[in-house]
Structure 1
Amino acid sequence: MTVQVFPYLVMDGNAREAINYYKESLDAEVLYTQTFGESPESPDFPLPEEAKDRIMHATIKIGESELMFSDTFPGQPHSAGSQVTLCITTSNPERSQKLFDGLKQDGEVTMPLQKTFFSPLYGCVVDKFGVTFQIYTGEEK
């Protein structure tokens, strides 16, 4: 079982611009991009037109390090300087639960750990120090 921590930059509609900037300035390799418009549709939550081209998730590689990105959903608050979060990834759901439970002590859950279309367990929590963590459960490699 591997556990990794990735810096995760949350942008306000300009993630694609940032990705291209880092691609050029840092010789980064784009490993993955997906827009909100490319995600599965949900009749319960229709996607606003202004959200469709925003980046839902992207990963770039700079040397041996990976950096993740997303845009905020239109209307979500965003403040420059606080857009860096940490994404902890593991392939073990029990480990994800333990990490999440530990971080939520004296913290604030902003998205409960739950099954999503992209992960068997994913959630977000702000720890007691104000650091935002995303817990992502992937597949065993």
Structure 2
Amino acid sequence: MSLQFTPFIMLDGHAREAIRFYEEALGAQVVFCQTIGEAPDDAESSLSEEAKARIAHSVLLIDGAQLFVSDVLPGQKVQPGNLLNICITADNEQTSRRFYDALLQGGQVHIPLGPIYFSPAYGMVTDKFGVVFQLFTRRATE
């Protein structure tokens, strides 16, 4: 089993600015960046152009270490507990389910664990201590 724990910074419309800052300040290299509007789902088609321009996900490499940066969806609030969260990447759905269920004990669901266009099993929970975790499952080919 291979697990990866990655810090994930969530911002309210300032992700693009933060990415530029981390490029300069930390020598970060952007290896992936996708806006909300670039997602293959058409579920967000009712969003404004400004909302579609928000960063849905980015991956920065800093001397071999990864940092994820994105914007929250319009209407979501950035507050203590979700500004910085942890993304747990697992190799299979069973591991993601086990961690999701365990972290959910006394916690709160933000996104139920399930398939989404970028993962066979993805979900988000806040544990009983107020820490936000994203559970991401790699596709078999990753």
Q: Where on the TM-score scale, by shorter chain, does this alignment land: which range?
A: over 0.9
Q: Given the alignment of the two structures, is residue 8 of structure 1 paired with residue 5 of structure 2, yes or no?
A: no
What is the match of residue 47 of structure 1?
Answer: 47
Structure 1 20/115 Cα, relative in aligned 2: closer, same or farther at 3 Å?
same
The 2-side partners of 1:53 and 1:42 are apart by: 14
Q: SS in structure 1 opposite 2:119?
A: coil
The 1-side partners of 2:44 and 2:38 are apart by: 17
Would the aligned equivalents of 1:57 and 1:69 in 2 still touch at CA under 8 Å? yes
What is the match of residue 130 of structure 1?
Answer: 130
Structure 1 81/107 Cα, relative in aligned 2: closer, same or farther at 3 Å?
closer
The 2-side partners of 1:109 and 1:136 are apart by: 15
Cα shift at 1:69: 1.0
Cα shift at 1:23: 0.5
Specify the code of the residue in structure 1 equivalent to 2:21: Y
Structure 1 unpaired stretches of 5+: none
Specify the code of the residue in structure 1 equivalent to 2:13: G
Deviates more, 1:73-82 or 1:58-67: 73-82
Specify the code of the residue in structure 1 equivalent to 2:85: T
Structure 1 51/44 Cα, relative in aligned 2: closer, same or farther at 3 Å?
closer
Q: SS in structure 1 opposite 2:116?
A: coil
Runs of 4+ in 1 over 3 A off after TM superposition: none
What is the match of residue 89 of structure 1?
Answer: 89
Cα shift at 1:109: 1.0
What is the CA RMSD across the aligned residues, in angstroms?
1.7
Equivalences for residues 1-141 of structure 1 within 5 A: 1-42=1-42, 46-79=46-79, 82-140=82-140, 141=142
Give aligned pairs, total: 141
Cα shift at 1:45: 5.5
Would the aligned equivalents of 1:50 and 1:74 in 2 still touch at CA under 8 Å? no
The 2-side partners of 1:42 and 1:125 are apart by: 24
